Amino acid sequence: MKIVYSPECLEYNSPGHPESPERVKRIYDALKAEGYEFVKPEPATEKDILLVHSEEHYRRVEKGDYESIETPPIDIKYPLLSAGAAIKAMDVAGFALTRPPGHHAGRDTLEGFCYFNNTAIAVRKSGKRTAILDLDTHHGNGTQSIFLGSRDVLYVSLHQAPLYPMTGLKSDGNCLNFPLFPETPEKVYIETLKKAMERIVSFRPDMLAVSMGFDTYEKDPLAGQKVTEKGYRKIGEMISALGIPLFVVLEGGYSEDIGKLCSSFLSGFG
């Protein structure tokens, strides 16, 4: 799998913020050492962003007209580049190694370290019948709100509950939620993923978009799931075995081990 990456995504930083440049750098270093091929993204255009977000939201991000410690004002070039990385990953069936993440951003909202919904923008741009599999430990409330009621998109999420953003406690139409208690054993996580995948297969998508978070890791500081380094390889193998054309976009993951976790995950794709 090709890795879509621009070192520019390391340029912005809020000291002490868990969504740090080091996260992506650690993954880059691990994948570079393994000889993966890297391709550079182009920034998304305003037109791309407006496939998902309102013009008002675009202007807010452009002007930095918002205040939040959690999702601090940053130059719009970074959210544009991150959305562009997801689009490029969709084009080359690759992995978007990028920040800021996207799955908490809704049509008119930014929150949870997310400004534009990278995965949603790439899915809309493809125009394909798509299943989105969101494996970040937090529910992708933004992605769900964007696609709720859409006939051509199935949203499927496994996430810890209770946990921020406190949504996704049950399924709603085309949005299938699999909440998991803190400390859920990895075996149960994998069994739940199998069930979720059965729903994806019966939807018969032409494309699979994976919103991949590594904050389900047993040592992640922001959550309490139990996925192991080896478990990520298993998850990668299961996704690969679906045989659906796919792309992957990085969401969260905050432990120091994130490089080897991502490497283990991608090794599952053979």
Which position among 106, 140, 252, 259 is part of the footprint of Zn ion (CB under 5 A)?
252
Q: Which is nearer to Zn ion, 100 or 213 (CB)?
A: 213
Residue 94 touches Zn ion, criterion: CB under 5 A: no
Question: What is the enclosing helix (H) or strand (E) of 193?
Answer: helix 186-203
- 266: which 2 tokens? 């991608």
Q: Is the dihedral of CA 163, 261, 68, 148 positive or negative?
A: negative
Q: Which is nearer to Zn ion, 87 or 163 (CB)?
A: 163
The least CB distance from residue 94 to Zn ion, in Å, is 21
Q: Which position among 53, 57, 103, 104 bears the catalytic label? A: 104
User: β-strand 246-250 against 153-160: which pairing, if any?
Assistant: unpaired
Residue 213 touches Zn ion, criterion: CB under 5 A: yes
Spell out where 161-201 has E strands.
Answer: 175-180
- Residue 103 falls in the annotated catalytic set: no
- Is residue 234 a contact partner of residue 267, using CB atoms and an 8 Å limit? no
Residue 149: name the closest of 172, 169, 116 by CA. Answer: 172
> Per-residue x/- marks for Zn ion, 138-167, CB under 5 A?
x-----------------------------
Which position among 118, 136, 153, 254 is part of the footprint of Zn ion (CB under 5 A)?
136
Q: Give the residues lining the site for Zn ion (CB under 5 A).
A: 136, 138, 213, 215, 252
Q: So which residues are the catalytic ones? A: 104
